[in-house]
Structure 1
């Protein structure tokens, strides 16, 4: 049995996640015998999920086995009772809990590589599962031989070895193991795929489930190209304002991307921003539909932390910093901050202008046009300049002692104040 050892070196501390099943016990046997010179140190980790009658017996067996062969073993007990009581599937919850513990143990052990005993039959089952459950468009459809995790590598050295070969090895060397009785219970989706669906496919002489491995290879190549296109778009078109946590992409260029690349761009940006939970493809498609419409402005998603919206020619993701700004009175020159605006009132301004008031807009606000007779509504000014909805209520409006609007953000300033009032939008830096 040819185990792929390229994932670690002779000076590495490797750790094996061992379940007491035939796959991990055969891999452990290989590591103790034929592969004993391929690493510097070996440790075992075992998770007792406490959901099967045999779990205690398996744990006791592993403790005795590892003690006999002087292999350090660490055991984690999981409590999944709340998940079971709710009638939810424990598979995903158990996996999350397992790997959280693996992460912490790899750090505390200062270990280099975590090994799992996933084999080729597991790979085929995973590919089939991801294809049939719609999980094939946003990530790899199968498992990778080597995966980088936080501070260590995850390696699957049996990934190209068939289950039959593992069983042959077990029989040849009389490797002790425990059979998980739940593996034969087809109410679990993965078990049903393994025990019923894939064997039925292979019983047809014209079909071969191993062809799914070739599909994964092709799919991985396409994913790399999609990732390259997404990274190129992000590096060239993603506009960032880290102070305001505001990120935008040009609407037209984003819509010109292939559908799969659009999805990948959003996945990558949300991953960078740690936006949780991840969005479904259905949700993305609803956003794309709105982006393709004639809407000039629309909020597509809002939480207490994030706002995602369409604003004219941009698609924007930003922190939800909407706040109510109270009016402030100014009776002397100085520098004042209003929201994310910086307002500098010079000493040369006439004292008859005081007190100045800085406030947000009100219905019916009008200002005098510069250079021509007449007035213009503030609301019209905002539309003409395509000011985003969320920004309109943050825009500072300055009123003089005569209750005249003399400035509207950076959009308008009465000519006679051009050398005495200076307004800067810090959000544009």
Structure 2
């Protein structure tokens, strides 16, 4: 079936839009979004809804201005309303995440102010495969393997993705046969990032093994979504019998919990993690889940498992409690471990993540507007320790390996005494200080100009205007 006809038929089956809807199309200028734009133009007038184009100029490539000018002129010729935003690249922060947040923030604002019913994006089958493979590599829970949904919501914005059933090859072939003008981002061919390596190296091999690979991924995602629906029904049935929310802590009735099958215990605990911790950006790994299951089924007395951001699971004889250190969400003063690929809350207003540059962490949406700071980390490190300042702390401040007292940094930077007590240090396993967060970086964090930065720390803080000004001076 031809791409044009399939596009129309898919909408009729999944109802991405109706004739009376007002659509906003996210168009970058690449082949995927340009094909989406042209396909919608080919929908007969009797079926085609009113739509406009939204474009974000990220100013990351020399061709960005040309692309925006072309889109503006094209839309003017076609009588399509055109909305554009020029994005100012931040000096610090996770560039990919910041750009994504800027795009969707702009799209949401246009939809709200101009009365559009939904956003239409050009995600396709290859994007779906990349996303699923990245999640499998990172060890995501089954609930997160649903990949990219055909329809979803983001901060109240309804998003439809009508091209998920099409492969990249189909879109490229259609663009060529219909002489669609598009712009290609040369950086997509580089293999510095995991997503690009999956796109350029791994997926082509899978397609070579089986031409139906993308169809199988599509079916796999659908099956996972259906399985999650069934699991949720069962978990919701078991939840009130086992788990109770009391004053911002969650009580697990151990007798009821132990009466469940192992699979039911596991999925109930995963659901608790998701609803309480993961939704707030507090990670829990498979090892901690396994430890929790063993502990909750043990006949031994009081035990506990320490999680991130001051959260812990405490087991008594009859109940277990999932709780944070205090009702305000503050964390304990004891050191916390931080593993590669993990993000933790240090306090109500601070979040710290340790990531690979090519596998950026998902920043919790509730904090992505906070002030962001970065620090590079040696490739040899996988486990770090985060703690408060202690008397006599020193750090390496120059190439010669000379040390300086942390307290001297506080004095030079005019940090108030109260702030000094609340300042965090990131240390390696040997206790060497890597970063006085976010005031000063140790020389141990410096990466040679000839080397690429592979690992980094991302620190987000809800800052006052005065704090932002002080940090910007450093």
Question: Please, what TM-score do these two structures have when normalized by structure 1?
Answer: 0.64
- Could you tell me how far apart the structure 1 residues matched to 2:132 and 2:199 are? 12
Could you say if the C-alpha distance between residues 75 and 207 of structure 1 is closer, same or farther in structure 2, counting changes exceeding 3 Å?
Answer: closer
Following superposition of structure 1 onto structure 2, how do residues 260-279 of structure 1 map, counting pairs within 5 Å? 260-270=266-276, 275-279=280-284
The offset of 1:192, in angstroms, is: 1.2
Q: Does 1:309 align with 2:314?
A: yes
- Could you tell me how far apart the structure 2 residues matched to 1:123 and 1:280 are? 24
Q: Does 1:245 align with 2:248?
A: yes
Following superposition of structure 1 onto structure 2, how do residues 24-423 of structure 1 map, counting pairs within 5 Å? 24-34=33-43, 36-83=45-92, 90-204=95-209, 208=213, 210-241=215-246, 244-254=247-257, 256=260, 257-258=262-263, 260-270=266-276, 275-301=280-306, 308-318=313-323, 321=326
The offset of 1:136, in angstroms, is: 4.8
* Structure 2 unaligned blocks of 5 or more: 329-474
- Could you tell me how far apart the structure 2 residues matched to 1:41 and 1:206 are? 37
Higher mean C-alpha deviation, range 250-259 or range 9-18: 250-259
Higher mean C-alpha deviation, range 75-84 or range 224-233: 75-84
The offset of 1:114, in angstroms, is: 1.0
The offset of 1:200, in angstroms, is: 2.2
Q: Is the 8 A contact 2:167 2:214 kept in 1?
A: no
Could you say if the C-alpha distance between residues 164 and 25 of structure 1 is closer, same or farther in structure 2, counting changes exceeding 3 Å?
Answer: same
Q: Is the 8 A contact 1:139 1:223 kept in 2?
A: no
Could you say if the C-alpha distance between residues 307 and 198 of structure 1 is closer, same or farther in structure 2, counting changes exceeding 3 Å?
Answer: closer
* Structure 1 unaligned blocks of 5 or more: 324-429
Q: Secondary structure at the match of 1:111?
A: coil
* Deviation sequence 1:329-350 (CA, Å, 0-9, x none): xxxxxxxxxxxxxxxxxxxxxx
Could you say if the C-alpha distance between residues 174 and 157 of structure 1 is closer, same or farther in structure 2, counting changes exceeding 3 Å?
Answer: same
- Could you tell me how far apart the structure 1 residues matched to 2:210 and 2:23 are? 42
- Could you tell me how far apart the structure 2 residues matched to 1:213 and 1:147 are? 16
Equivalent position of 1:358 in the other structure: none
The offset of 1:300, in angstroms, is: 3.4
Could you say if the C-alpha distance between residues 129 and 275 of structure 1 is closer, same or farther in structure 2, counting changes exceeding 3 Å?
Answer: closer
Equivalent position of 2:28 in the other structure: 19
The offset of 1:115, in angstroms, is: 0.7
Higher mean C-alpha deviation, range 96-105 or range 300-309: 300-309
Q: Secondary structure at the match of 1:147?
A: strand
Q: RMSD between aligned alpha carbons?
A: 3.1
Q: Secondary structure at the match of 2:159?
A: strand
- Could you tell me how far apart the structure 2 residues matched to 1:102 and 1:70 are? 20
- Could you tell me how far apart the structure 1 residues matched to 2:34 and 2:212 are? 32
The offset of 1:17, in angstroms, is: 0.9
- Could you tell me how far apart the structure 2 residues matched to 1:233 and 1:285 are? 20
* Deviation sequence 1:185-205 (CA, Å, 0-9, x none): 111212211211121233346
Q: Secondary structure at the match of 1:300?
A: strand
- Could you tell me how far apart the structure 2 residues matched to 1:282 and 1:110 are? 47
- Could you tell me how far apart the structure 2 residues matched to 1:238 and 1:253 are? 9
- Could you tell me how far apart the structure 2 residues matched to 1:31 and 1:322 are? 52
Q: Which has the larger radius of gyration?
A: 1
The offset of 1:46, in angstroms, is: 1.6
Q: Is the 8 A contact 1:246 1:316 kept in 2?
A: yes
- Could you tell me how far apart the structure 2 residues matched to 1:207 and 1:171 are? 23
The offset of 1:27, in angstroms, is: 0.8
Could you say if the C-alpha distance between residues 54 and 251 of structure 1 is closer, same or farther in structure 2, counting changes exceeding 3 Å?
Answer: farther
Q: Secondary structure at the match of 2:43?
A: coil
Q: Is the 8 A contact 1:130 1:141 kept in 2?
A: no
* Deviation sequence 1:78-128 (CA, Å, 0-9, x none): 3444457xxx6x334433443333333332333212111111222222222
- Could you tell me how far apart the structure 2 residues matched to 1:205 and 1:34 are? 33
* Deviation sequence 1:374-399 (CA, Å, 0-9, x none): xxxxxxxxxxxxxxxxxxxxxxxxxx
Could you say if the C-alpha distance between residues 254 and 212 of structure 1 is closer, same or farther in structure 2, counting changes exceeding 3 Å?
Answer: same
Q: Is the 8 A contact 2:24 2:120 kept in 1?
A: yes
- Could you tell me how far apart the structure 1 residues matched to 2:309 and 2:169 are? 53
The offset of 1:28, in angstroms, is: 0.8
- Could you tell me how far apart the structure 2 residues matched to 1:285 and 1:78 are? 44
- Could you tell me how far apart the structure 1 residues matched to 2:233 and 2:59 are? 44
